[in-house]
Amino acid sequence: MTAPKIPDSLRRVVLASNNAGKLREFSALFAPLGIELVPQGELGVPEAEEPHVTFVENALAKARHASRLTGLPALADDSGLCVAALDGAPGVYSARYAKMHGGEKSDQANNDLLVRKLAGVADRSAWYVAVLALVRSENDPRPLIGEGLWHGEIIDQPEGANGFGYDPHFYLPDQALTAAALDPEEKNRLSHRARALRELLSKLSQA
């Protein structure tokens, strides 16, 4: 796909996240486009609430929140892991999955709970979902939305050290590796965020 022409107004965009892993991935994905992503924490923006039950609503809420407090265009993602045998859980609650079950809010606790939930379960199919929302201003009436899916399977033993979140347990049969064992360039080509970005950029080129 031909890279879209980026308007000057989108050369500096606040990233509505303080997650270091997401910042790394998004910065690598956006750098070739000449877009500087500034994490919201550097601009004094607190985390937004995520009260909604869909990825799209949460992403939009976070983007509008960051844009309102900075006056800049804002990019937000809401992403998570959906597991078929768990009726799509943890879904939008992926980041706080263990905390919702009385544990701590950490990647390790989330992964430990996921493995326990799938003990004895044969169907390990799962998919990552990423929704990106880009708003040019707080009240942008035509936000750009991109969505990406990445299919895999959940394994019990973690493998790899390059990812974050559920990546060490997210196995990709075609690559015979987990998401955490992929090199960063390969992950940035295959991941749900990369797919969502391609869709968003396609819309940006038509905007």
Over residues 188-198, the mean pLDDT reads 92
Q: Which two tokens stand for residue 159?
A: 């493998």
Q: Which residues are annotated as a binding site for Mg(2+)?
A: 49, 78
Distance, in Å, from the CA atom of 172 to the CA atom of 14, rounded to the nearest integer, reads: 32
Residue for token digits 């080129």?
A: 205
Catalytic residue list contains 78: yes
Buried b / exposed e along 5-32 (16+ C-beta atoms within 10 A): ebeeebeebbbbbebeebbebbeebbee
Query: Residue 3 above 70 pLDDT?
Result: no
Residue 143, phi then psi, degrees to nearest 5:
-65, 150
Which residue out of 78, 87, 123, 140 is catalytically annotated?
78
Query: Residue 14 above 80 pLDDT?
Result: yes
123-169 pLDDT tens trace: 999 999 999 999 999 999 999 999 999 999 999 999 999 888 999 99
Q: Which residues are annotated as a binding site?
A: 17-22, 49, 78-79, 164-167, 187, 192-193
Map out the domains of the chain as residue ranges: 8-206
Q: What is the pLDDT of residue 150?
A: 98
Query: Residue 207 above 70 pLDDT?
Result: no
pTM of the complete model:
0.87
Beta carbons of 169 and 154 less than 8 angstroms apart: yes
CATH T-level topology, domain 8-206? Maf protein (3.90.950)
Element (H, E) at 92: none
19-78 pLDDT tens trace: 887 888 888 888 888 888 999 999 999 988 878 899 999 999 999 999 999 999 999 999
Q: Is 130 helix (H, G, I), strand (E, B) or coil?
A: strand
Q: Which residues are annotated as a binding site for substrate?
A: 17-22, 79, 164-167, 187, 192-193
Q: Which two tokens stand for residue 64?
A: 């509008």
